[in-house]
Structure 1
Amino acid sequence: MSIKEIQDEIVDEFSMFDDSTSEKLEYLVDLGKSLPALDEKYKTDDYLIRGCQSDLWLNAELLDGKVVFTASAAAMIPRGIIALLIRVFSNQTPKDILDDDTAKFIERAKLNNFFQMTRSNGLEKMIKQIKLYALAFNVKKK
């Protein structure tokens, strides 16, 4: 599935909720609960995303030309947010990740509309780190 197709699915899922923040946050918590456990060796400062409201670790590997992300977070909402982003970007090529207009997806899904400023900053940091991993893998390929 392409990044755009996955994003469209997520936008549709979020449109089922009314504008109530609590329903959307509950959905994110459920996503966070479904996130597979991250190997403890990645729960170090090298994988920590700075600027998130809680500790959040993100790892990426390039397997068969596609980036595979794994992550964990100490708090459930950031865990849900990173689970959502992993759903979008994992198993995609570095080029496709870099070419994606993620800000447009965030706007379409109305993700920034219900986050406090600190969580919005964390979301931006998560996306930035995902794009940095993709950039590193894209440069390595050349």
Structure 2
Amino acid sequence: MHTDFPIEATAAEAQRVIAEEFSFFGDWSERYQYLIDLGKRLPPFPEEWKTEANRLQGCQSMVWIVPEGDAAKLVFHSISDSSIVSGLIYLALRVYSGRSAEEVLATTPDYIADIGLAKHLSPTRSNGLASLLAFIQNTAKARIAS
């Protein structure tokens, strides 16, 4: 069962719901399991999109991302070969995909601190998440500029 984005009406609402969902889990082994489960809900990603041109640089695992749309509505398609990274992608897309470029740029990824993710990711995963968020922000800036 996959999810189409956006789920919530606004990016702020998405971040609030994410924080709420993660608060139900007592320890990080449960939270990691939930991340893995979320990653399985990513929409299907066509094999032909898994090209070097669509590969996100700065990630240790393989991550592919394809943006669509314009400044009014940006949609991101993404997947990873890592189940935990796919869960991180799911959270980022839940906050940012299907939103206007303006809303993307106005939304700080507070959910990362709110759910304690920053403290529980390895440095390589943290760098990869930073690369993913930077790609999303840069795409929004480019759409506004064009």
Q: Normalising by the residue count of structure 2, what TM-score does the alignment of the two structures yield?
A: 0.89
Aligned residue runs from structure 1 range 24-39, under 5 A: 24-39=31-46
Q: SS of the counterpart of 1:69? A: strand
Letter in 2 for 1:55: M
Taking every aligned residue pair, what percent have the same amino acid on both sides?
A: 35
Question: Aligned-pair RMSD on alpha carbons?
Answer: 1.4
1:8 paired to 2:10: no
1:114 paired to 2:120: yes
Q: Is there any run of 5+ residues in structure 1 with no aligned partner, and where? A: none
Letter in 1 for 2:124: T
**Structure 1 residue ranges (4+ consecutive) displaced by more than 2 angstroms after TM superposition:** none
Aligned residue runs from structure 1 range 39-118, under 5 A: 39-62=46-69, 65-102=72-109, 104-118=110-124
Cα distance in 2 for partners of 1:86, 1:28 equals 13
Greater RCO (CA < 8 Å, at least 6 residues apart): 2
Matched positions, count: 138
Cα distance in 2 for partners of 1:131, 1:55 equals 20
Tell me, yes or no, if the aligned pair for 2:71 and 2:100 is still in contact at 8 Å.
no
Q: Which has the higher helix share?
A: 1
Letter in 2 for 1:118: T
Cα distance in 2 for partners of 1:110, 1:2 equals 22
Q: Is there any run of 5+ residues in structure 2 with no aligned partner, and where? A: 1-8
Q: SS of the counterpart of 1:98? A: helix
Tell me, yes or no, if the aligned pair for 2:71 and 2:140 is still in contact at 8 Å.
no
- Structure 1 residue 41: Cα displacement: 2.9
Tell me, yes or no, if the aligned pair for 2:105 and 2:141 is still in contact at 8 Å.
yes
